[in-house]
Structure 1
Amino acid sequence: MSLGIYPVFHPPVSDASFDSHGEDLALEFVALDELADEYEIPALSSFGDSREIPEDFEGGPDELDELLGPCEEWYDCSQGIAAFESLVRVILQNPDAAEALETPEAVADDLMALVEVLKIAKAQGAQFRLEMR
């Protein structure tokens, strides 16, 4: 199983199924954040867990939660939708941006899958955050 980025909702949204494994997002995470910064779009990392990880910590996400307590950061779905749609436009309309990614079409597809699931969650009044596992 590969590392992937996926949305988590609060409160949980049972019919919000993310139609991706988020593997391309995880593989292109740094490049996507650099593109977002360049085009003044909120980065994927700005929708994740921003807790400070202790310097000597070497465990996994579950161990981090045991150490620091559960993450309670949640973000507005509308902000995520706007950011991810903007990233898709940049990737699909700007050849330089697309060249910065190894798999621009797959990344754009994953971002649109995020947009679709966030729309469902938004309609139900949920908030979200992105997690990587």
Structure 2
Amino acid sequence: MSDMFDTYNRVYANSVARTARHNGHKAQTIINEKNDRIEELENDVWGWAAVASARGEVIDTLLEALDAQHGGPENNPYRAESKTKVVIPNGEREGENIQERDRIFLTSLKRIIENNCPHIGSWKSLIRKISVI
């Protein structure tokens, strides 16, 4: 009778071990897929950061051209301080009042977030988190 229980326990233990190995392999596959997806998303984030940086350089170049057309930065209407008294929270221009160009940017950003991606939160929280102005 003892042999029968020993055999049963051995078969049961082998079954449990086989199931555990199978579940371990399945879990590792899921972990690998998630890690690949995270890496893909990180690359997307870096790509968008590069695009934003390049667009910033285009904007600066266009502002310099407008400066030349208007006789200097002090005469450029897009560099004039905005009537909206908002202070830039971070970045190179931290503490400065926004300019008219910033007001246009923030208005567009607010509209885009509200219409396309409200799940990321408000434009104000985004501006506080990252340096985009």
> Normalised by the shorter chain, which TM-score bucket?
under 0.3
Q: Which structure ranks higher in relative contact order (CA pairs < 8 Å, sequence separation ≥ 6)?
A: 1
Larger radius of gyration: 2
| Length-normalised TM-score, structure 1 | 0.24
Question: Which one has a larger percent helix, Structure 1 or Structure 2?
Answer: 2
TM-score of the superposition, structure 2-length normalised? 0.24
